A and B are shown apart, each in its own frame.
Chain A
Amino acid sequence: MTALKLLSRTKLYWGLIAIFLIGVLGSPVSSKGNNIFLSYGNLLDVLRQVSTTGLIATGMTAVIITGGIDLSVGSLMAICSVVCAMLLTVPGVTPGVVLGVPTVAVVALCLGFIVTRFIFLNLEKSRAGADASRDARLDRARGLVTPAIVGVVLCCLSLWYLLPQVEPKFGVLGVLLVAPCVGLLFGALNGFIIVAGRLQPFIVTLAMMVTALGIARLTAGQNNAVLPVYTGSNATEDFELLRSMVFGVIPMPGLFFLGAILIYGAVLRFTPFGRYVYAIGGNEEAARLSGIAAGRVKIVTYAVSGLLAGIAAVLYVAQYRQGKPDAGAGLELDAIAAVVIGGTSLMGGRGSLTGTFCGVLIFGLLSNILQLHNINSNLQLVLKGMIIIGTVLVQERNAGDLLAYLRLPGAAHKETAAAKRPSQETRSLNLGGNKK
């Protein structure tokens, strides 16, 4: 019984294990007698191929857990990739610089202010009562002045770092600062409009998707062609770093993906912020009444989603040697699919990054296997769609219900399945249900 319990606990990994086994057992064998699927290079290829979608899906998971959705990530990636490629290849003041550098300044200013103020307020709280004789007005003023100073200092620092790089070309660190900041700003804007305007996330991010695509095209200029990054020695040498293998083992994009999953996963699971995200998805009204600043938490999730899209864009430019307005087209749907396969509910309140990680890998391995067998590409699309439905059915334990509808064997479990399933609220506290 305990074994079975464990099995149902780890049902998240079932799909992954199954896909992997199919891959291993049905793998074509090369002329030299190697198992192609298991070959070291092939699995690393898969990791590299999924890392862009994976980063996007990581940000999307938190957004979906709060009950929202972010359709703009693909277009945000397009903007960031254009900006990134421009900074790397074209010296002087380009549209990329005009968009990128002020964005970093604004983000530095705001972040410096917000973070400092947050720390300040928390210090105030811990000191409150202990030192009641202090002048409250003076405190309030200090609570605004100190953060403002920190923000301005950070802003100046970032400009001092970036401006000298405009005339030659930007290096890899400069790009890794600018592109994610651009994504962060647009993401935060998404969140702000959704929260302040009290609008549906679906429509706001849909509008942003269109807007951002336009901005990406405007930034790229009349010529919507590819911006070459490495024709000869067009970009700085150190940009090659992002395409290299770390310690000769893991491809760099894969490392970024794994890092994002680990860090954001830890944040969602072990910090108050993470608990707020789940609480908002479970019942926003209740969360608000219990004193959670729901609006701010939501803005942060959208901002992080944009930030990760920016990082994905830099990796895209490194890998494909180009940044262009149609980079990342359709990526938001792939990411949403991976998130849902990973057991995160579109209703919000339930899901985990472990699940998303599995979902992304299932997707990647599936494409890889179908391609290794050279199955007709149109048929591949059909199979992918069917497998998504199948996986989600197993995930949600609704396969029995579907069978019951068809009056097929298995119908007997209908009531028990419904009764056994914990309600939404209790499950939201179960954080994805795959601990241990």
Chain B
Amino acid sequence: MKRRDTLKLAALGAALLTTTALLSTGHAMAQDKKWKIGFSQVTTIEPWRAQFNKDILAEAAKHPEVELIITDGEDKTEKQVADVENLIRQEVDALLVSPKESAGLTGVVQQAIDAKIPVFVLDRNVDTKDYTQFVGGDNKLIGRAAGEYAVELLGGKGKASGNVVEIWGGMGTQPAHDRHDGFHEFTDKEPGIKYLLDQQSGDWKQDQAYNLMANALKSNEKIDLVYGHNDPMAYGAYLAAKDVGREKDIKFIGIDGLPNEGVQMVNKGELTATFTYVTPGAEGLRQAIKFLNGEKVEKTITLPTQKITKENAAQVLKDNGL
């Protein structure tokens, strides 16, 4: 008994010493950086978020004076709030937050503002106006670009005609509504365009879109264009058409344009076009550094979208090192 306890104590002491030693060495390295910038991300296992992190890390590599800390909220509000609290305690010079949802993160963002830390909100807004800057894409703008191109594909302004299948993202989500509204600003003006489905949602997922499209193909002889609210859904619809041998008579348009996802699909000729929903990672970090160096930054930055078709897909892939 006695020996066991002493052994245990010794083991415990050794473990303590090694962990503290290990933990302390990590800090010696980060001392020579000028700025410490914290970035609270929602999750890392979704393609768009992974790209987001890749973009911000690539930008950070260009700025040797910056130490970037990325936290992962594991898709839970509680975890993300704890992450931001933690970054505040670490006294970061600037805080970048991409909120999982507006209401849940507002309190802690306010806390950071009260602690005199400049806050840059990325992609989704919070319910306060005291932040330093908001950087994000505009889904309505992207929807408009897609709608304009769809009209062009179906015969041009005033002459366009055809049957369109629109596959919605999640029904309760703002991005889906924005992508729908923007698209219809253009297509609703064309009397020749018919919509085959009434608000059918694929919940952003490829498999659900496949099933939706499979049913639509059975009940409609003629489908001219599919508009998916994101690339995986457009691709799911393409696969459904391919399985019944009708993919050649249909145009597929998606949104998001991730290099490793949508752009590849366009490059292979599976999707006709995709429109990029650029991640605010790189721009957000650039703006934060600009601000820390004493320059003025605008309150809101809206990121532009880019149309990707067969012509420029290969080039985009090359630019992203794929």
Contact = CB atoms under 8 A, between A and B. Distances in A.
A binds B: yes
A227 B77 CA distance: 14
B106 A42 contact: no
Interface in A181-224: 222-224
B76 interface: yes
B188 interface: no
Contact of B26 (A7, A230, A373): A373
Q: Which of A26, A31, A373, A400 has the most CB of B within 10 A?
A: A26
B276 to A, nearest CB: 26
Contacts of B101: 225-226, 322
A21 B44 contact: no
A7 B4 CA distance: 12
Given A28-B27, A320-B77, A329-B76, A230 B103 contact: yes
Contacts of B20: 21-22, 25-26
Interface string B61-100: 0000000010110101110011101100111000000000
A283 interface: no
A222 B201 CA distance: 13
Contact of B107 (A225, A243, A316): A243
B219 interface: no
A1 B156 CA distance: 92
B127 interface: yes
A223 B172 contact: yes
Given A230-B103, A230-B127, A231-B103, A45 B82 contact: yes
B171 A400 contact: no
B102 interface: yes
Contacts of B322: none
B23 interface: yes
B271 to A, nearest CB: 29
Interface stretch (A149-157, A350-358, A364-372): A364-372
A30 B77 CA distance: 26
B12 interface: yes
B71 A371 contact: yes
Report, as a range, how many residues of chain A touch the other chain: 35 or more
A373 B16 CA distance: 16
Nearest to A227: B103
A417 B24 CA distance: 37
B103 A228 contact: yes
B1 interface: yes
B215 interface: no
Binding site secondary structure of chain B: helix
B16 A32 contact: no
B320 interface: no
B5 A4 contact: yes
A45 B78 contact: no
A269 interface: no
B5 A8 contact: yes
A320 B78 contact: yes
Interface string A17-48: 01001100110111110001001011001000
A36 B89 contact: yes
A400 B4 CA distance: 9
B46 to A, nearest CB: 14
A30 B36 CA distance: 11
Nearest to A37: B89
B318 interface: no
A126 interface: no
A120 interface: no
A426 interface: no
A14 interface: yes
Contacts of B8: 394
Contacts of B44: 377-378
A386 B69 CA distance: 24
A224 B76 CA distance: 15
Q: Which of A25, A327, A329, A377 has the most CB of B within 10 A?
A: A377
Contacts of B2: 1, 4
Given A49-B85, A371-B86, A377-B72, A26 B107 contact: no
A22 B23 contact: yes
Interface string B6-39: 0111001001100110111011000000000000
A142 interface: no
B171 A226 contact: no
Contact of B90 (A230, A330, A372, A400): A372
B104 interface: yes
Contact of A420 (B1, B89, B104, B127): B1
A231 B128 CA distance: 9
A41 B104 contact: no
Contacts of A7: 5, 9
Nearest to B17: A25
A222 B15 contact: no
A229 interface: yes
B14 to A, nearest CB: 11
Nearest to A48: B85
A377 B71 contact: yes
B171 A373 contact: no
A230 B81 CA distance: 16
A18 B81 CA distance: 26
Contacts of B220: none
B293 interface: no
Contact of B86 (A316, A372, A417): A372
A49 B89 contact: no
A14 B12 contact: yes
Interface of A: 1, 4, 7-8, 14, 18, 21-22, 25-26, 28-32, 36, 39, 41-42, 45, 49, 52, 222-231, 243, 316, 319-322, 327, 329-330, 367-369, 371-374, 377-378, 394, 400, 410, 413, 416-417, 420
5 contacts: A4-B1, A22-B20, A228-B103, A371-B82, A371-B83
Interface of B: 1-2, 4-5, 7-9, 12, 15-16, 19-20, 22-24, 26-27, 44, 69, 71-72, 74, 76-78, 81-83, 85-86, 89-91, 101-104, 106-107, 127, 171-173
Closest 5 CB pairs of A and B: A26-B23, A377-B72, A25-B20, A26-B20, A320-B104
Given A7-B5, A225-B101, A321-B103, 7 more contacts: A21-B20, A222-B172, A320-B107, A330-B76, A368-B86, A378-B44, A417-B4
